[in-house]
Amino acid sequence: MFIPFDNSYALLPEGFFSKQKPTSVSDPKLLAFNNELALTLGIELDDFAEAASVFSGNSIPQNAAPIAQLYAGHQFGSFNPQLGDGRAILLGEVIGSDGIRRDIQLKGSGPTPYSRMGDGRAWLGPVLREYVISEAMQALGIPTTRALAAVATGEQIWREQGALPGAVLTRVATSHLRVGTFQVFAHRGELEHLRTLTEYTIQRHYPEAQGPMDLLRAVCAAQADLVTRWMSVGFIHGVMNTDNCSIAGETIDYGPCAFMDGFHQNRVFSSIDTQGRYAFGTQPGIAVWNMAQLATCLIQLFKDRDAALEEATEIVHAMPDLLEKAWLNRFCAKIGISTPQADDQGLIEELLALMQTDEADFTNTFQALNEGKARDQFTDLEAFDQWSEKWKNRLTTEAESQTVMQSANPVIIPRNHRIEQMIEAAVAGDMAPFERLMKALATPFVETDAALARPPSRQEIVPATFCGT
């Protein structure tokens, strides 16, 4: 197999990472491979056995420079001064046919110096979960890391649930730089490394940025855009820790994440998020909090810290406005308004309040709006009719609003119960539900599989996703 590696991170100073080879596994089998992405990356696949060997970590392709990256991070608000890739290994980078540099990383490929108490492994469930949801995100047009391959290791690993089949995910990202990457050097007072990292990041992601404050501004904008896109499809990330907050503004680290069925601002899926820190509606506020942590790091690069603090504060304080504007744009589109006005916010909030009362299905209610069938989703018909009257008066032409709604409201999202069913089948050796989901989710704005668009029945609801990844 040929992978056209062109590595840059491995050329940074030693303190940025540890050289680390994957640990080989006994019986790798290729479960999924993303041909379209491989084509973009210029990867030529000769045979499945070779792919299983490379994407399990059993053989290291030529010119790979395997490393585990160092980072720190705030986890649920408390700072952990050293995290790092505990079960991920960056094989190297590739510049795609689209000119974009991307990381190719194995996740679940064995222990590294940053594994702490962990085994460095992943089980099949979270690997396929990330594969399906990240590719669904991509199809929805939302910035995300990608999935290139999933390989079963043929080995068992131990989690709370007992023995589970091991797997390795090959993840592709425009980079794995996180807020936590800045935090590790800022916390240690390693200002030279912090400066090198900042320059590297600007060059790689925001070449137009003139210095650290411009970088901060760009990341704030990217995060504001990302989080409002999540909200517009009912996505709850679940672990918005600073080590899971991508500098490039991609959705990264699909752990206990989920798309919600019934709408509620306080919806939480992660079984460990008992306080609801990362609930659906808190996500914009958390994004701002994460950017404040990035700002705190970048300020250290300035001689005149007071002036830097003032500028950084201004940038971070401007973020709620950015979020509000982006939110208004996205939700206006969802109800067919292409030219948002300030008082549209009230109209949208009224609808969301009605939806919340009935826990109306998020995806299907917006879908029903464009079909003129939304009334069925509500119990307080009078309230809905009143809202609908106001809404219709606000719309311009029917044709225009239809087009706007159709491109803002997906029909098919990776519903949590379908993901769980898919995992259960895969553990039993049946990949058909995985293939079915992948096919339907590739065109989420077109109904190709009506059953996948249906919300879960009461018995099918999966209220929590477990972090035992």
Question: What would you report as the CA-atom Rg of the chain, rounded to the nearest whole angstrom?
Answer: 22
Q: Which of 443, 447, 427 is nearest to 129 (CA)?
A: 427
What is the C-alpha separation between 37 and 289, in angstroms, rounded? 33
Q: Which of 190, 201, 289 is nearest to 241 (CA)?
A: 289
| HSE, side-chain direction, 13 A CA sphere, residue 9 | 30
How many residues of this chain bind ligand AMP (CB under 6 A)?
Answer: 17
- Give the nearest distance from C-beta 308 to ligand AMP in angstroms: 29
Of residues 22, 57, 92, 120, which one binds ligand AMP by CB under 6 A? 120
- Give the nearest distance from C-beta 343 to ligand AMP in angstroms: 40
- Give the nearest distance from C-beta 69 to Mg ion in angstroms: 11
Residue 180 near ligand AMP by CB under 6 A: no
Contact letters for ligand AMP, residues 220-259 (x by CB under 6 A): -------------------x---xx--------x-x----
**Is-contact 169 130, C-beta < 8 A?**
yes
Question: Which residue has the closest beta carbon to Mg ion?
Answer: 253
In the list ligand AMP, Mg ion, none, the entry touching 83 (Cβ below 5 to 8 angstroms by class) is ligand AMP
Catalytic residue among 243, 253, 344, 361: 243
HEC-encoded secondary structure of 8-43: CHHHCCHHHEEECCCCCCCCCEEEEECHHHHHHHCC
In the list ligand AMP, Mg ion, none, the entry touching 118 (Cβ below 5 to 8 angstroms by class) is ligand AMP
Residue 103 near Mg ion by CB under 5 A: no
- Give the nearest distance from C-beta 202 to ligand AMP in angstroms: 25
User: Is 95 exposed, middle or buried, given 0-12, 13-18 or 19+ CB atoms closer than 10 A?
Assistant: middle
Of residues 56, 244, 246, 282, which one binds Mg ion by CB under 5 A? 244
Q: Output the CA–CA distances (angstroms, integers) from residue 424 to 13, 128, 373, 461, in the order listed.
A: 44, 11, 34, 15
Q: Which residue number, 175 or 469, has a Cβ lying nearer to ligand AMP?
A: 469
Query: CA-based angle 99:12:108, to the nearest 5?
Result: 75
Of the listed pieces 26-34, 119-127, 260-268, 358-366, which binds ligand AMP according to CB under 6 A?
Answer: 119-127
Residue 417 near ligand AMP by CB under 6 A: no
What backbone torsions phi and psi does residue 149 show, to the nearest 5 degrees? -155, 155
Residue 130 near ligand AMP by CB under 6 A: no
Catalytic (active site) residue 47: no
Q: Which residue has the tokens 């084509």?
A: 39
Applying CB under 6 A, the residues found at the interface with ligand AMP are 83-87, 114-115, 118-121, 239, 243-244, 253, 255, 469
- Residues that are catalytic: 243
